[in-house]
A and B are shown apart, each in its own frame.
Chain A
Amino acid sequence: MPTLKFSDKSYSLNDSETILDGLLRQGESAPHSCKTGVCQTCLMQVVEGEVPPEAQKGLKETLQSQGYFLACQWSPSEDTSVKLPGLEDTAISASISEIRSLCHNVNLLRVTPEEGFSCVPGQYLTLVNSDGVARSYSVANLSHQDSYIDLHIRTIPGGVFSNWVNEKACVGDQVHLRGPAGDCFYIAKEGKDTPLLLAGTGTGLAPLYGIILDALSQDHTGPISLFHGALKEEDLYFVEALQELDQTTSNFSYFPCVLNGEEGAFYTCGDIQEIVLTALPEDKKELRIYLCGGPDFVNSMKKKTFLAGAASQNIYSDAFVVRSSE
């Protein structure tokens, strides 16, 4: 059994146990979120040991060359020594410039980086608060044009980070940003006249809204359809802005969908999955599909739209993982 050194203490790792799982099992607190090698919250740096390439997947080359890796993706077979990343190497500082309620359970958090932070709308970044708690959120504005980054934070009952946003965070507070990551974004060279279909639940709207703004700012001419799904009417947000965009932009259509809604309202009643599937265009060869939100929704819709005829390489997705504990 290999030994793991972390923060001046020694831990034992079981056979094929990841560094993250080993630390958590032995009561050590280590930052983590998705545990699937995607969110990069569990970033660590090797002190001694040979990092396998799969534990550095998706990291910038500058981080790879300094021995940074994802603790949820490395199961060492030899003795290893690792440490938490220093914020100065891996993150840039930013300040909170606005906190605004978007609906009863979503806040908009606007952060202004103190130096260049290059990210594309639809990608996600890791936000580290002053208590060192880190979570991933999607970029929901034209971050490369604006001087700030808009993030939509859903309030999770008992959630450490979202409650910090709700109760403690103030305009002017310093936070840190790490990343960005993710490949769910608009690519103009894949065709500006192709139809785009975007579907998301809850704060899955954040990356989709960013992607739509990005596509429109790059003069996308093909039809753009947005389906936003919510359980109840009050869970919808950005409704007026999206309705206005629908009315003023000839190639953009907004379809709010509410599962437990009332007939005759401004939205469509029913399951967003069924609503989207019936709305798929006849010709799906060029159709580009963007799916964001809970993993059940995203994974199910990936498969259903693929089976309905969409090309797998034209399906972009970002499944949000909600951290269950704490």
Chain B
Amino acid sequence: MSLFEKIGGEDAVNAAVDVFYRKVLSDDLISHFFETVDMDKQMAKQKAFLTMAFGGPHNYTGQDMREGHKHLDLKEEHFQAVAGHLQSTLQDLGVAPDLIDEVMAIAASTHDDVLNL
């Protein structure tokens, strides 16, 4: 069974996206990066990200990650804040600790691309 299946697949993504996005939008350190006009589009992006982090099917490449974040001038603290919200979302939803570790490892693998290092 893949990580994505173990964690609950698309249903898990749908359950996580509201919790995760609410945490992100409520965090003054990073909320301004997410305040685009269209919440629906932002929501779709968050779903795509969570699907990838949950080990699901995705089309992201390291290059996409780099291009998509380059203009934001992100710092280590911003990356850590988002990662923290991801972790606490999974904890809120009662995901098993070993699965959370796997998800956090996938998220951590995007670190250098997201921060354009």
Contact = CB atoms under 8 A, between A and B. Distances in A.
A132 to B, nearest CB: 30
Contact of A299 (B17, B18, B25, B37): B37
Contacts of A303: 25, 39
A302 B38 CA distance: 9
B50 to A, nearest CB: 13
Interface in A249-307: 295, 299, 302-303, 306-307
B22 interface: yes
A299 B43 CA distance: 13
A4 to B, nearest CB: 27
A95 to B, nearest CB: 36
Interface residues of B, number: 11
B10 to A, nearest CB: 13
A24 to B, nearest CB: 21
Interface string A300-325: 00110011000111000000000000
B26 A306 contact: no
A142 to B, nearest CB: 28
User: 9 closest pairs, A vs B, by CB?
Assistant: A302-B39, A312-B18, A299-B37, A312-B43, A303-B39, A311-B18, A307-B25, A307-B22, A307-B26
Interface of B: 14, 17-18, 21-22, 25-26, 37-39, 43
20 contacts: A295-B37, A299-B37, A299-B38, A299-B39, A302-B39, A306-B18, A306-B21, A306-B22, A306-B25, A306-B39, A307-B22, A307-B25, A307-B26, A311-B18, A312-B17, A312-B18, A312-B21, A312-B39, A312-B43, A313-B14
Interface of A: 295, 299, 302-303, 306-307, 311-313
